[in-house]
Structure formats: C-alpha cells, structure tokens
Amino acid sequence: MKFMLHAVQQALTNILRNKTVNLLCLGIIAFTLLVPGIFNYISFNLDRYISKLSENIEAIFYLKDGGDGSEIERMLQRIQGSLLVKEVGFTSKDRAQAKFSREFPELQYILAEFSNSPFPASIDVKFRADARSVVQIESFIRDIEKNSLVESVQLNLDWARKIALIKKFASFAGLFLSAILLVVSIFIIFNVVKINIFYRRDEINILRLVGATDWYIKTPFLLEGLILGFLGGLLAGGLLLAAIKVFPLYAKFVFTIVKQLIDFRQLPLRIFWELVITGSAIGLLSSFISLRRFIKQAPPG
Amino acid sequence: MIQFFHVYKQYFRSNEALSDINLSIERGEFVFLTGASGAGKSTLLKLIYKEEEPSKGQILIDSINSTLIPPGKLYKLRRQIGIVFQDFKLMMNRTVHENVAIPLLVRGEKKAAVEKKVNSTLALVGLSHRKRYLTSHISGGEQQRVAIARAVIGNPKILIADEPTGNLDTELSIEIIRILEKINASGITTIIATHDLNLINLFPKRIIKLDKGQLVLDKASEAV
C-alpha cells in the first residue's frame, strides 16, 4: 500500500515535472482515440437509424383457396414461434372482402358479381426491428413460402436489403478503419512512451545503481502510462462531446441530409467509457513494452 | 571482503579489458586503484557492482559469488555498495535532499528515519546548508559531495568511487579524498579509482595499479 502510494505520487510528480513531453503524449493519445471515437459514434447513429427504419418490415403470405383450417393453424403457430416475428395475424377470405368493402365502398358493385369472396386468405407478419436480422428474415420468408398452402408472398424487403447492404459496408469500413487507427495509436503511443522513458534513462540507471528493485523502477512508469492513457481517453471523450455539440449547428446550414441521418443528441456512455478504457489500456501496455525493452537494453550506468 | 580469482573481461570484438586479475581487498581497507586511461580501472569497479560480468573467473563479494546472483536479486548486492561517479550521476532537477534520500526511499524506509539520516549524512559531507537547493544550482565540488552522501547514506559495506576528483581542482580533490577517508574510518571498505598520482602521493594508502588490463602493482602506499 505504502509502495503503491509512493508509486502514484512519483508518477504524478513525473508527469508534472516533464510537462512538455507529457502534454505532447496526452495530445497524441487524445487525437488518435478521437478519430475511432468519431467513427464509432457515427456508426452508432447509423445503427439506430437503420433499426428505426427496420421497424416496418412486413410480409403478407397469400394462401391458396381450400386450405385446411388445421394446416393454417399449424402454419400460424410455426410463424409465431420464430424469434424474428413481432406480430402475426390471419385474414380470412370473408374478412378480406369486408375490408375491401370498408376501404373502397364505391367499388362494392364489383363484388356483387361474385357469389363467394374473390380475395385470398392471408397471413400478415410483422418482424422485429433489428437490421442485423434482415438476411435471417428473408431466409425465414423463403422457408415459409415453400409451404403448399402459400400462393404468393408480398413483402417490402427490397429497401431493407439495401439498408442491410449499407449497414454491412458501414460495419466493415468501421472495423477496418478502427483497426488501422488502433494499430497506429498503439504505435504512436508506444513510441511516445519510449521517448518519455528514454528521456529519463539516467534516472532509471541511478535507481538501479542505488539498489531499487525492478518493480520499484517500473511501477511509476507503468502508472504514468496508465494515467496518461486515462487522461487521453477522457480528453478524447470531451473533444467528441464538444464536436457533437458544435457540429450540428454547422451541419444545420451545410449538411441537412447528414444531420437528418445522424442523430446528434448525445454521446452514449458506452462510447465514452470505451475511449477511456482503451486509452488506459494502450497507455499501460505501451509503457509496459517500452519499459521492458528499455530496461533490457539499458546501457551500463 | 572482495576477492578476484583469475578474472578476465573481454568486450565484444576488442582486446581484453582485464586479464587474469587476482586480488583480495579486506574489510575496512582504503585502496587507490590507479592506471592510465583505458587500463581497466572502471571495468574492474563495474565487475564489483555487477554492472559487467566477467568473461572468465570468479568474484566473491562478502563471500558470495557475485556471478551467481540472478538479475532479480541484484538489488541486494547494490544495497551493500555505495558508488560515486566522476560525472556524479545526480538528478539535477531535484533537490540535494531528494538526491541523497533516494537509496533509503527505494528500501521503503520511514519518512522520519529518512529525514534523520539525510541530515546526518549531509552534515558529514558539509552540505547541510544546501539541503533544499536544486542540485543544478550548486557547484561541481558540492555536487560531488552530494554523490558521496548518496553513496554512503544506506550504510554500505563497500564504497566505490570512479575518478571522483576527475572534474575538480586540486584543493577540492583533496577535500573529497579527506571526506572519503573519514567515511572509511567508520569501517566501510573504500576503493577509489584515480589516475592522479599527486593525489595518491598525498595519502598513504594501498595502491593497485593496472596497465592494459593487467595488475602490475599491488602494495602499500609509496611514491609511484
């Protein structure tokens, strides 16, 4: 406990003592985290937008005439049993005719020509709002369509397919960009921490020569990395928050469509903490690797 | 206290820095290690505090074979040896007090004990009045005394000084050796590497002379 307190105190003192190098390090950590943070935020909004649009995915299975009641019941149960389905309803031939009469009273004379309802019975299915399941929904519909009772299917899936494609592209691009930026971040921070340690190599050598244990030497440096990463993450979160507040005002005049597409209401806590945790982890890892390598390669006192 | 048995040291692709060194230094002895630049003085000292490993041979420090000490336990050996360097190796952006206190802080000693020992050690080297000064704000002679204070504050068994007067004028050099003599009087084995024969002649102590990595003289003080 006493040792940890000393290490924390030492780390904070070192950070304050080498303000220039550490401010530079902090700035780089914040900037490199900010870029994936912005992308993550846009991706988050795109997700929400797609989910909102996906609430309207519907399919209508028109049934062949003369279907057996129990077979229709089995089909309804099967549809209802799916986790993808939000709501399912059955419209009989008579109800379809009544609905037509109600909605188009001026065309009732046409129906007078028929002794029975000319409309097919149908099963109306509403799916759950989850853009990720568009492919599953399509596959489910195709499966139900194979039932001998089904005459045809009407569905509004074309736009959903397009959105799913955009989402897929966005996810891939997001992952790809984030991975590249993360590697770049680690590389930059690793080198900044290495420079930071190199800058104080004399101090490390002195500590070694006066009989400090490895952990006594390493811990303050590790904590410095952790603290710098943590502060860098906080700063990136703060900058992202500021960008979210400022950008819509700008976008209002310039990018109306973008503003409609992206909901600039708030920064989700998840993204904020991701930035802070990633920053801390990168800071800690980078100083750990740098320190390990430096201590191994340190020239004799 | 310190024993070298057929010790050789060869750096990568170079001539032997030390060749077949056999010597024994008793507890509480005061020894001048001398020789021209490149004779192997610093290498010999580095072998004692294990900053370098011998290429061949064995070194016993207080009856412990230093070549067998694993890196993780090296701090135990270092705590028994105080080291003074020609370039001082001080933390210039810290105060005199902070520099002197380091060996005690790394051992986790209590604040009150540290304070007490720092005060008495600074008094020993005549630097009590500079306690709160930044090390970069004091003179070279004073900086060397800070380095000596740091080396002895942990009550080491051995004190090693590598050219401690190399950057100082004659008057200051004599003053530094007198301080080291005073420290030696408390029972600390003291080894001073120097090429300053005038200085050696002023103090009648044992002399070990190296030449091109070989021990060429080992005897009680006399004009060299």
Q: Is the pLDDT score of B12 beyond 80? A: no
**Residues ≥6 apart with Cβ < 8 Å to A281:** A229
pLDDT of A216: 87
According to DSSP, the β-strands at B56-61 and B64-65 are antiparallel
pLDDT of A251: 59
- B45-91 pLDDT, tens digit each: 999 999 999 999 999 999 999 999 998 899 999 999 999 988 899 99
pLDDT-based confidence at residue A186 (cuts at 50, 70, 90)? confident
Judged by a CB distance cut-off of 8 A, whether residue B105 touches chain A is yes
Instruction: Find residue B189's DSSP bridge partners.
Output: B158
Ramachandran region, residue B99 (left: φ > 0; alpha: ψ -120 to 50; beta: rest): alpha
Judged by a CB distance cut-off of 8 A, whether residue B157 touches chain A is no
Structure tokens at B84: 């003074």
- B110-140 pLDDT, tens digit each: 889 999 999 999 999 999 999 999 999 999 8
- A3-35 pLDDT, tens digit each: 788 788 878 887 887 788 788 878 888 888 887
- 8 Å CB contact between B204 and B224: no
C-alpha to C-alpha distance for B3 and B58, rounded to whole angstroms: 8
Percentage with pLDDT > 90 across chain A: 10
Sign of CA dihedral A276, A282, A283, A285: positive
Nearest to B78 among A3, A211, A300 (CB): A211
Nearest to B106 among A203, A205, A210 (CB): A210
CB contact under 8 Å between B89 and A211, yes or no, is no
Chain B residues in contact with A203 by the CB 8 A cut-off are 91
* More confident site: B146 or A282: B146
Q: Is the pLDDT score of B37 beyond 80? A: yes
Judged by a CB distance cut-off of 8 A, whether residue B156 touches chain A is no
Q: Is the pLDDT score of A296 beyond 70? A: no
Pairs of residues, one from chain A and one from chain B, whose beta carbons lie less than 8 Å apart: 50
Judged by a CB distance cut-off of 8 A, whether residue B107 touches chain A is yes
- Mutation site for A-interface testing, chosen from B12, B104, B105, B134 by largest number of A Cβ within 10 Å: B105
CB contact under 8 Å between B46 and A17, yes or no, is no
* More confident site: A300 or B34: B34
- B191-216 pLDDT, tens digit each: 999 988 888 989 989 999 999 999 99
- B140-153 pLDDT, tens digit each: 889 999 999 999 99
Task: Check: pTM over 0.80? Answer yes or no.
Answer: no
Please state the rounded mean pLDDT for residues A60-68: 87
Quote the mean pLDDT of chain A: 79
- 8 Å CB contact between A63 and A124: no
Chain B residues in contact with A301 by the CB 8 A cut-off are 51, 83, 85, 89
C-alpha to C-alpha distance for A59 and A140, rounded to whole angstroms: 11
Nearest to B89 among A6, A214, A301 (CB): A301
* More confident site: A66 or B108: B108
CB contact under 8 Å between B91 and A211, yes or no, is no
C-alpha to C-alpha distance for B137 and B135, rounded to whole angstroms: 5
- Mutation site for B-interface testing, chosen from A1, A3, A5, A210 by largest number of B Cβ within 10 Å: A210
Numbered residues of chain A with Cβ closer than 8 Å to any chain B Cβ: 2-3, 6, 17, 202-203, 205-214, 216, 300-301
Q: DSSP readout, A45-107?
A: HHHHHHHHHHTT-EEEEEEPTT--HHHHHHHHHHHHT-TTEEEEEEE-HHHHHHHHHHH-GGG
- A128-140 pLDDT, tens digit each: 766 456 778 888 8
Nearest to A216 among B93, B106, B150 (CB): B106
**Residues ≥6 apart with Cβ < 8 Å to B49:** A209, B77, B78, B81, B83, B160
- A124-168 pLDDT, tens digit each: 998 876 645 677 888 888 888 888 888 898 877 676 667 667 767
Give the up-direction half-sphere exposure of residue B90: CA atoms within 13 A in the CB hemisphere.
32
CB contact under 8 Å between A210 and B51, yes or no, is no
CB contact under 8 Å between B75 and A212, yes or no, is yes
Structure tokens at A61: 């299975």
